[in-house]
């Protein structure tokens, strides 16, 4: 990005908390906005968004499957397809999928570059199995 304080990308914060002084919703800008968007896409299941049933990764559907190299590749491909199709601000570099038996879940590490920003961003997402 050309200037460090220049706002190129902005999204509302997922918490929907308003600023106590201005009474406006808080925003995420630039790198934080894209990270939040990628995380939202990865955690969204199919048919979760009304009228946009094809958006999502359906990662939670893989949580109770036996973890194999084939499943690892399926998860990786699902994340790649979702981010490439629905987040044009991010250029994927790498995705690492690990089984976290100690935490009873899966760990995703997503590395990507933001358009107009040469610095790589790493996003860690932990998906836990819950009953």
**Tens of pLDDT along 17-69?**
888 888 888 888 889 889 999 999 999 999 988 998 899 998 998 998 999 99
Helices (H), the chain: 31-43, 69-86
**Tens of pLDDT along 9-18?**
877 887 778 8
* Beta-bridge mates of residue 112: 92, 121
Count the domains in the chain. 1
Report which of residues 90 and 2 the model is more confident about: 90
pLDDT (mean) for 66-92? 95
Of the chain, the percentage scoring pLDDT greater than 70 comes to: 95
Residue 70: inside a domain: yes
Residue 3: inside a domain: no
Residue 122: inside a domain: yes
Residue 1: inside a domain: no
Report pLDDT for 131: 64
Report which of residues 74 and 27 the model is more confident about: 74
Q: What is the CATH number of the domain that holds 59?
A: 3.10.450.40
Task: Please give the residue range of the domain that contains residue 83.
Answer: 10-128
**CA-CA-CA-CA dihedral for 35, 130, 95, 10, to nearest 10:** -10
Report pLDDT for 1: 46
CA atoms lying within 13 Å on the CB side of residue 24: 6
Calculate the average pLDDT of the chain: 89
Residue 2: inside a domain: no
The pLDDT confidence band at residue 104, using thresholds 50, 70 and 90, is: confident
Q: What is the CA radius of gyration of the chain?
A: 16
Distance CA 70, CA 47 (A): 25
The pTM for the full model equals 0.84
């Amino acid at each position: 990005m050309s200037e460090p304080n220049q706002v190129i990308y902005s999204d509302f914060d997922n918490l929907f908390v308003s600023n106590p002084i201005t009474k406006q919703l808080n925003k995420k800008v630039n790198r934080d906005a894209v990270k939040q968007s990628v995380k939202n896409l990865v955690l969204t299941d199919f048919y979760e968004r009304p009228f946009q049933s094809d958006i999502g990764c359906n990662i939670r559907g893989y949580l109770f499957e036996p973890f194999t190299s084939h499943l690892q590749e399926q998860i990786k491909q699902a994340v790649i397809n979702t981010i490439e199709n629905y987040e044009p601000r991010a250029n994927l570099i790498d995705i690492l999928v690990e089984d976290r038996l100690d935490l009873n879940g899966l760990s995703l590490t997503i590395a990507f570059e933001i358009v107009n920003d040469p610095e790589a961003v790493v996003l860690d997402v932990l998906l836990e199995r819950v009953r």
